[in-house]
Structure 1
Amino acid sequence: MKDIPVLKSFDTVEYALGLMDDFKLKHLPLLNENTYQCLLSEKDLLAIPSSSITIGEPVMFAPSVREDSHLHEALAIITRYGLSLLPVVSTEGIYSGAITRDKLIEALSELCNAEAEGSIIVLEMMPQDYVLSDIARLVESNNAHVINLLSHTDKDTGKLLISIKIDLEDASPVIRSFERFNYTVLYHFMEKGMVDDVLQQRMDELLHYMNM
């Protein structure tokens, strides 16, 4: 996104905090000409004794992604540091824009085919039992296709939770196949309109986690 404001060393703390408030962001990039220098946080600015002084050129951490980076990399950095946005730079360090947390969620939703019709099946298994080709083969044996697959390890049990979205609204035949081959079907969603609601809930949970 190129409409995100940027800061310069001669901007005042008050001005920077005002921009953050206007754009509902907790972070803004600091540039020197067009070169990305660092990412300033609201917390950093509030720690400065006077809001009337200029920002200067603080030496701070400068998280970023390249223009050709995958969404997963951006998600990992935003989550790790609890960022509201992440600068995008060229290989030469030239600032080209920023991706906000909200826009990242939208992009992930599109990547996950959240709007596509279908059903969701959640399997539970030990990590050593996970074989993607076996899961796909059982789905395809019922004239269905895997259109999205997400995995998550339950920290309490150590088990792997596999969320599979398939292009069948009635997933009963696929569920029966999984159960016949001793897969644990933890739960499933087949009501029309339910699938997108569930994926949206998962995205909301991810957004909540990234806000912590």
Structure 2
Amino acid sequence: MNDPLLQLISSGLKLWLRSRCDQIGSIELELKGSGLGLLTGRLAGVHLSARDVCFQGLPLQHVNLDSEAINLDLQLLQPGRMLALQQPFKVMGSVTFQGSALNDALLTSPWNWLGDWLAEQLMGITPLGALRIRDDLLELEAPIAGHQNPQQQRFRVDAEAGTVIFRSDDGSTTGRTSTALPMDANIQIEQATLSAGRLLLSGHARVTPD
């Protein structure tokens, strides 16, 4: 990206993204196209790579995204807005969660509701006590009233029908044998993988104008 105008807009977008996130360790942003194309309201695409991101309390170890061509409505640009979309566009890519960081997030506000939901749906009890990634399995732990030892159960994670599916790995019928994670209709998960203490989600999303 050697175009001076695209470099200027890219620098501004990086600052804007940092202002919208709780934390960003590092970020690379490439605008594809030309300054002339931008002035006519079109970008050929955007590539984003970021590490150690915290967005609304959700820790993302790595984010890697690419967009299709973006049409902008320059007449709608307002102070404080970096881009004004003319029509929806698709973003493809992946996000990686580090297991221990995801555990911390699911045990505290604002995401503890999701941790408790997982424990209730998958094990039939709440609250969630711990989440661990062990090889290619997700292990959940929840305290049991009147018992010294907590309940533990392991699950396989897959992507089906645009979302994440959890299946019990030990044949237990304590909770549901298969549970789908509620997902925004604009987000489609195509791959879910557990490995080396990390959860990798790949897919695409539809970004729409405000």
Taking structure 2 as the reference length, the TM-score comes to 0.28
Higher helix share: 1
Higher strand share: 2
Instruction: Identify the structure with bigger relative contact order (alpha carbons < 8 Å, sequence gap 6+).
Output: 1
Structure number with larger C-alpha Rg: 1
